[in-house]
């Protein structure tokens, strides 16, 4: 069905904008009463649970795909004691991301066998794949469709109109980011390039070595409960911006908030399931994320301009937040890499009340690497091109824009991020087991204690959104 109010037009080209040196943190945040930071990473447990791992899956690699050329990569100087862990695609047999049913957790007693089993499944899925499909019958797919229509209309506006919503002085952490602003972190990040080196050549992402900023645009709409204490990071917790155009303005906040609430409700409950599955109190992560600067973060890719096959819309990267949740996009193109398979997986979210969830860096940090942030890219593939042609036929008056239906769920900026000790120990044992099986996970990552806000600022500098 083709609805919405704005006719098809080109997305505006945008100049590259960089925040001026020293221009961050200018915006004060009006916060409520002062309170000291109530969180600290002192919780420990001795609970232990085996992990099911090491599955092998099929994939499809079109013969004309241009994977990243390993010869362009710098030599890997990491002293590996095991042969590369590369998964030979011919050995891979079947693949589906686990489907986790949030309804079981919501409707069964928390200590019931069914609920605990579903929680264990959620944690294991994140350990094994860094991703899962979440079923939540509270989610209405029509709310996602209304959201996609609104964002298509918004990004079909001229660049001058969009630029009114840019806030480079806040590191683009609110409002719009225009195309060719954000750089894929991996292009300049040695540990990330090492991940690519260790993938089978047929499973590598499209080549990001040109260091070109992504052609995607994005809007950040915060879905946050204001913290009842003075945050040290007001720039990461700034007030929302509502677009001015009359045909957008009035429906903006209701549409964004409705879909944003659906996804925050789903993902915060999944954080509880994950905590239980990891042997932590259910609210361990959800309390730490209660005042997090969660961002409804639709990206927009102009498929008239960037619709050729093998165009990179968002280069290979991980997300810096705790969990990322996606509703269905109208165009395929999202690929994820399952940690323990080495396979590139084209994402398909089933129709209905289903969402895709990926682990981000804050979850990796909290678990000492037991759960790894999931790598992903968004590209134009054969299926994207087929969908473009179909949309042109079926909805000729609609903007030809790929909108991602994405929400970044964060821990509170003032939370002290550090690995839970028993999870960090389990991560080390897992790493050793992987090494015994010849699966090299690269150089060990260290997770020194850090405020979430500082971790976020560090990552933003990597992707050129903050100086
Ligand atoms: Fe991402």
- 150-191 pLDDT, tens digit each: 999 999 999 999 999 999 888 888 999 998 777 776 776 778
Ligand 1 centroid – CA 112 distance (Å):
35
Ligand 1 centroid – CA 442 distance (Å):
22
Q: Are strands 131-135 and 99-101 parallel, antiparallel or unpaired?
A: parallel
Ligand 1 centroid – CA 194 distance (Å):
19
| CA atoms within 13 Å, Cβ hemisphere of 147 | 33
pLDDT band for position 193 (50/70/90)? confident
Ligand 1 centroid – CA 329 distance (Å):
14
At residue 413, the pLDDT reads: 94
Ligand 1 centroid – CA 270 distance (Å):
19
pLDDT above 90 for 221: yes
Ligand 1 centroid – CA 319 distance (Å):
5
Q: What is the largest CA-CA distance in the chain?
A: 62
Say if 366 falls within a structural domain. yes
Say if 32 falls within a structural domain. no
- By mean pLDDT, which of 171-175, 430-434, 463-467 is the weakest? 463-467
Closest CA to 356 of 144, 100, 118, 117: 100
Integer Cα distance of 125 and 120 in angstroms = 8
Calculate the CA 403 to chain-centre distance.
Answer: 14
Say if 388 falls within a structural domain. yes
Q: Angle, nearest 10°, between helix axes 246-277 and 141-155?
A: 130
Task: Report the domain count for the chain.
Answer: 1
At residue 121, the pLDDT reads: 98
Ligand 1 centroid – CA 35 distance (Å):
33
Q: What does each C-alpha distance from 370 to 82, 124, 192, 248, 335 come to in angstroms?
A: 20, 10, 17, 43, 22
Ligand 1 centroid – CA 109 distance (Å):
34
Say if 86 falls within a structural domain. no
pLDDT above 90 for 394: yes
Say if 440 falls within a structural domain. yes
Ligand 1 centroid – CA 300 distance (Å):
13
Question: What would the two tokens of residue 193 be?
Answer: 């390039």
Other residues' Cβ atoms within 10 Å of the Cβ of residue 272: 23
Q: Per-residue pLDDT tens for 39-79?
A: 333 222 222 333 333 333 222 333 334 433 333 433 333 33
Say if 59 falls within a structural domain. no
What is the torsional sign of CA 110, 113, 116, 119?
negative
SS3 of the chain: the string is CCCCCCCCCCCCCCCCCCCCCCCCCCCCCCCCCCCCCCCCCCCCCCCCCCCCCCCCCCCCCCCCCCECCHHHCCCCCCCCCCCCCCCCHHHCCCCCCCEEEHHHHHHCCCCCHHHHHHHHHHHHHHHHHCEEEEECCCCCHHHHHHHHHHHHHHHCCCHHHHHCCECHHHCCCCEEECCCCCCCHHHHCHHHHHHHHCCCHHHCCECCCCCCCCCCEEEEEECCCCCCCCCCCHHHHCCCCCCCCHHHHHHHHHHHHHHHHHHHHHHHHHHHHHHHHCCCCCHHHHHHCCCCCCEECCEEEECCCCCCCCCEEEEEECCCCCEEEECCCCCCCEEEECCCCCCEEECCCCCCCEEEEEECHHHHHHCCCCCCCCCEEEECCHHHHHHHHHHHHHCCCCCCEEECCEEEECCCCCCEECCCHHHHHHHHHHHHHHHHCCCCCCCCCCCCCEEHHHHHHHHHHHCCCCC
pTM, rounded to two decimals: 0.80
Which range of residues forms the domain containing residue 196?
A: 92-462
Question: What would the two tokens of residue 152 be?
Answer: 């298509």
Say if 317 falls within a structural domain. yes
pLDDT band for position 462 (50/70/90)? low
Question: What would the two tokens of residue 17 be?
Answer: 């904008």
At residue 4, the pLDDT reads: 58
pLDDT above 70 for 198: yes
Integer Cα distance of 180 and 216 in angstroms = 7
Ligand 1 centroid – CA 464 distance (Å):
15
Mean pLDDT across the chain: 80
Q: Are strands 99-101 and 312-317 parallel, antiparallel or unpaired?
A: unpaired
Residues with Cβ within 8 Å of 454's Cβ and at least 6 positions away in sequence, in order, are: none
- By mean pLDDT, which of 210-224, 260-274, 304-318 is the weakest? 210-224
Average pLDDT over residues 310-321: 90
Task: Identify the CATH number of the domain in which residue 124 sits.
Answer: 2.60.120.330
pLDDT above 50 for 110: yes
Q: Are strands 401-403 and 217-222 parallel, antiparallel or unpaired?
A: unpaired
End-to-end alpha carbon distance in the chain: 43
Say what percent of the chain tops pLDDT 70: 77
Residues with Cβ–ion distance below 5 A, ligand 1:
319
pLDDT above 80 for 398: yes
Ligand 1 centroid – CA 337 distance (Å):
12
| CA atoms within 13 Å, Cβ hemisphere of 155 | 31
Say if 426 falls within a structural domain. yes
Q: Per-residue pLDDT tens for 233-266?
A: 887 777 899 999 999 999 999 999 999 999 999 9
Ligand 1 centroid – CA 184 distance (Å):
9
Ligand 1 centroid – CA 49 distance (Å):
30
User: What burial class does residue 149 get, using C-beta atoms within 10 Å of its C-beta: 0-12 exposed, 13-18 middle, 19+ buried?
Assistant: buried
At residue 364, the pLDDT reads: 97
Average pLDDT over residues 23-50: 32
| CA atoms within 13 Å, Cβ hemisphere of 4 | 26
Integer Cα distance of 252 and 318 in angstroms = 29
pLDDT band for position 5 (50/70/90)? low
Ligand 1 centroid – CA 195 distance (Å):
16
Average pLDDT over residues 339-344: 77
């Amino acid at each position: 069905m083709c609805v919405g109010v704005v006719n098809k037009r080109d997305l505006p080209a945008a100049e590259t904008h960089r925040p001026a040196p020293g221009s961050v943190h200018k915006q004060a945040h009006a916060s409520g009463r002062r309170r000291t930071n109530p969180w600290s990473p002192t919780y420990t447990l001795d609970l232990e649970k085996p992990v099911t791992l090491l599955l092998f899956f099929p994939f499809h690699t079109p013969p004309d795909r241009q994977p990243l050329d390993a010869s362009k990569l710098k030599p890997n100087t990491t002293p590996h004691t095991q042969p590369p862990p590369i998964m030979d695609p011919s050995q891979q047999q079947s693949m589906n991301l686990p489907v986790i049913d949030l309804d079981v957790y919501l409707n069964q007693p928390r200590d019931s066998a069914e609920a605990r089993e579903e929680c264990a499944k959620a944690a294991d899925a994140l350990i094994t794949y860094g991703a899962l499909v979440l079923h939540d019958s509270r989610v209405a797919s029509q709310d996602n469709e209304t959201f996609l229509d609104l964002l298509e209309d918004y990004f079909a506006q001229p660049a001058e109109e969009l630029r009114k919503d840019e806030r480079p002085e806040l590191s683009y952490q609110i409002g719009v980011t225009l195309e060719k602003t954000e750089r894929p972190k991996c292009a300049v990040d040695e540990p990330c390039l090492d991940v690519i080196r260790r993938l089978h050549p047929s499973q590598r992402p499209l080549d990001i070595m040109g260091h070109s900023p992504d052609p995607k645009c994005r809007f950040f709409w915060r879905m946050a409960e204001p913290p009842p204490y003075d945050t040290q990071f007001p720039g990461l917790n700034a007030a929302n911006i509502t677009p001015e155009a009359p045909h957008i303005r009035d429906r903006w906040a209701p549409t964004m908030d409705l879909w944003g609430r659906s996804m925050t409700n789903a993902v915060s409950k999944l954080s509880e399931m994950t905590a239980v599955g990891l042997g932590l109190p259910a609210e361990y992560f959800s309390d730490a994320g209660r005042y997090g600067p969660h961002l409804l973060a639709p990206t927009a890719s102009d498929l008239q301009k960037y619709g050729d096959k093998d165009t990179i819309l968002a280069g290979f990267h991980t997300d810096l937040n705790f969990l990322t949740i996606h509703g269905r996009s109208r165009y395929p193109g999202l690929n994820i890499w399952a940690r323990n398979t080495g396979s590139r997986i084209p994402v398909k979210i089933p129709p209905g009340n289903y969402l895709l969830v990926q682990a981000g860096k804050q979850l990796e940090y909290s678990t000492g690497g037991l759960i790894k942030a999931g790598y992903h890219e968004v590209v134009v593939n054969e299926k994207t091109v087929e969908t473009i042609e179909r949309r042109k036929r079926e909805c000729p008056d609609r903007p030809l824009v790929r909108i991602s239906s994405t929400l970044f769920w964060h821990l509170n900026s003032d939370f002290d991020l550090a690995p839970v000790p028993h999870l960090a120990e389990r991560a080390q044992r897992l790493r050793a087991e992987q090494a015994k099986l010849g699966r090299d996970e690269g150089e060990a990552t260290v997770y020194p204690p850090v405020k979430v806000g500082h971790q976020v600022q560090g990552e933003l500098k990597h992707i050129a959104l903050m100086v």
